[in-house]
Structure 1
């Protein structure tokens, strides 16, 4: 009876006592065939893996390009452990020790002591379309991702149990926008201009240069005090009128607004019927039909006079311009002036 075959390749061994003659096909040919088959990774297919592999047996699947070795456990079909290689798609789970790193060239991905992933370089997601997702995150068993970052830079956030409901995105050159409400918990510092288009919008107008008008009683729009107003909005109006007028010409003013608008206002100033030194103060209410509201100058047109204007403008369904108009009460060759520094402000309240 021959000696037991080798444990790994099952090579045939004749009797060690020399009583058995050498049989070439059995003792040499068959054994060398098995040695040749076992050299390196044994080629096979995913359906023809060796049925009785030894522990450590390496194989390469020609139909999938994947590599395996047997860990020696039973059954043999469950003993195969995949080895990553560059020829096929890795089909298993790859586990690294907690202190291990994954290096791809100079880029290194490491697990920190706190359990998070750390990289020595940036993360770049190359996507096909701007609307493709570049990054998202969920918490526990969320049914929706709470955070989503798109390839175009748009940022969305939600509660996790419903769709994301707030966003932040680039709406144009040098402009960051959101379609939702924005709350600042501590301080908000604006270095440039603050623009509000809805309730709370402030629209200031200021005369940087004096405008002169002579020999005219026809109201004409001031070149500086014109406001664009939107439909179905309400504005508070306040301002300071600075003018100079010879008592022979004096100063009158009025306002125009879009069709359907209403404007209740008053102007606290000296009446045009005043004497050269002083006169009565006008306090009665006015509206858009008040197109000849007169204010008086004193002495000559070099004396600065002031009047404080306040009002309540309601715009109906038609947008347009809200305009200060003015002229002389009586035609005079001595100019009536609306002075630099005159300013009016609209504040939207509804």
Structure 2
């Protein structure tokens, strides 16, 4: 009886005690054939894989663009083949990466994070054939529809997941971002161009005594950009310290090349006396004003506050700068005129 065959290649082994004559056919010829078949990867087809491979046996398939496999030694043999990725064939199995492991393609590295996410050291880019091609989409669980979809032209669509997406965000023209749907803003919305609204509050009382010379208000000033058009509105609350003589006058300064129109509604300067609760009113308009030379005057009572509402339009030239409220007493009086905290100024860009 010969000795047991080798465990992996089943090479024939003659009796180790020398009692068995060496047979070329089985001891040499057949063993050499088995060694030849075991050397490197064995060529086969997907239907002619080895029927009894040893554990570690490598093969490649000539009919599947040279997919390569090795046997893990399990039974049945048909289920023992584990695919090895290579650059010739299309890999048909799953490639598992442990947490922290990376897949490198040239200088690009894709790393699996501990939470299951992927991190890349470079950007993701798809060279789509059409603007309507989907670049990225996202679903949650067993969603029937993707909740987020980004198209090659940059358009983004959103939906609830159980029906098709129903809101969007996209580029509608040069420097313009648009949506066809409602937009809710939970916090602040800042606009720098047309539609920008600016607001400034007077945070402390300010008093002018014995002076009709216009001076800059300490608080009510707003910036304007070149070549823009704004509308403005002010609510002003004034009080005279002891009598109703000084009253109030106001104007603005604006940048070189700018003009402003303004009109106001408030108490008449001569008809409103101390402790008055009613008076004739002033409705005064000033057009194409370029400096503080044109003023509006309003009566101021004591001790109750008197209010005036001022509206206007600012047309900017090529120089940016500030629209600055200026004010003083309409008639010099030792009893000071106070512009109260709570007065405010708003300006909206319309062009």
Q: TM-score, normalised by structure 2?
A: 0.56
Take 1:140 and 1:164, find their aligned partners in 2: how far apart are those partners? Answer: 16
Query: Which residue does 1:164 correspond to in 2?
Result: 165
Q: Deviations over 1:213-261 (max 9, x none)?
A: xxxxxxxxxxxxxxxxxxxxxxxxxx9899xxxxxxxxxxxxxxxxxxx
Take 2:105 and 2:82, find their aligned partners in 1: how far apart are those partners? Answer: 23
Q: Deviations over 1:187-212 (max 9, x none)?
A: 111111129xxxxxxx9999xxxxxx
- 2:21 aligned with 1:25: no
Q: Residue 190 of structure 2: SS of its match in structure 1?
A: coil
Take 2:98 and 2:113, find their aligned partners in 1: how far apart are those partners? Answer: 12
Aligned ranges 1:278-293 → 2 under 5 Å: none
- Asked if the contact 2:14/2:22 (under 8 Å) is kept, the reply is yes
Take 2:59 and 2:75, find their aligned partners in 1: how far apart are those partners? Answer: 17
- Asked if the contact 2:98/2:112 (under 8 Å) is kept, the reply is no
Query: Which residue does 1:258 correspond to in 2?
Result: none
Query: Which residue does 1:133 correspond to in 2?
Result: 134
Aligned ranges 1:1-350 → 2 under 5 Å: 1-64=1-64, 65-194=66-195
**Could you tell me how far 1:109 is from its partner in structure 2?**
0.9
**Could you tell me how far 1:114 is from its partner in structure 2?**
2.8
Take 2:148 and 2:133, find their aligned partners in 1: how far apart are those partners? Answer: 14
List gaps (5 residues or longer) in structure 1.
196-202, 207-238, 243-280, 282-303, 305-346
**Could you tell me how far 1:115 is from its partner in structure 2?**
2.6
State how many pairs are aligned: 213
Q: TM-score, normalised by structure 1?
A: 0.56
Q: Residue 35 of structure 1: SS of its match in structure 2?
A: helix
- Asked if the contact 2:170/2:179 (under 8 Å) is kept, the reply is yes
Aligned-residue RMSD, C-alpha: 3.1
The 4+ residue runs of structure 1 with deviation greater than 3 A are: 203-206, 239-242
- Asked if the contact 2:138/2:147 (under 8 Å) is kept, the reply is yes
Take 1:125 and 1:49, find their aligned partners in 2: how far apart are those partners? Answer: 39
**Could you tell me how far 1:29 is from its partner in structure 2?**
1.3
Q: Residue 127 of structure 1: SS of its match in structure 2?
A: coil
**Compared CA separation, residues 181 and 70, structure 1 to 2 (3 A):** same
Query: Which residue does 1:288 correspond to in 2?
Result: none
- Asked if the contact 2:108/2:122 (under 8 Å) is kept, the reply is yes
